[in-house]
Amino acid sequence: MTLKELETQLQALNLTEKAEAIQILTKTLSNGSLGITKTPGVCGGDACIANTRIPVWSLVNDRRLGMSDARILEAFPHLTAADLVNAWAYADANLEEIEQAIRENEEVML
């Protein structure tokens, strides 16, 4: 397959598929992305960026509040673009879980 053929195929993907493709490429380039983890007792067992206490739902909520990926990376300088790709792909694949976590957090804040 040529690069041009690959580009055409990538452009035909939907956003979730593109995020998954980026995740695959990132893992290939970084010898395995640490991805997303769930650890009992850490952040209530919510899905987090691996080796952090940053829940995926929190990043999704930041995005909904208007933060760009660049701004999120500024706010969390130890995160990488690959971490955000992993977070967005996880959120897309587990939308109800993320929505529930956001609702639960909002209830606690009231």
**Calpha distance 80→72 (Å, rounded):** 10
> What is the tens place of the pLDDT at every residue in 25-58?
766 554 434 589 998 999 999 999 999 999 999 9
Q: What is the DSSP letter of 80?
A: -
Residues 19, 21, 23, 26: is their CA dihedral positive or negative?
negative
What number of helices (H) and strands (E) belong to the chain?
6, 2
Chain mean position to CA 27? 14
Helical (H) or strand (E) element with 18: helix 15-29
* Reported confidence tier of residue 18, pLDDT bands at 50, 70, 90: confident
Q: Are 105 and 57 in contact (CB under 8 A)?
A: yes
* Conformational region of residue 41, where left means phi above 0, alpha means psi within -120 to 50, and beta covers everything else: left
Q: Are 84 and 69 in contact (CB under 8 A)?
A: yes
> What is the tens place of the pLDDT at every residue in 78-100?
999 999 999 999 999 899 999 99
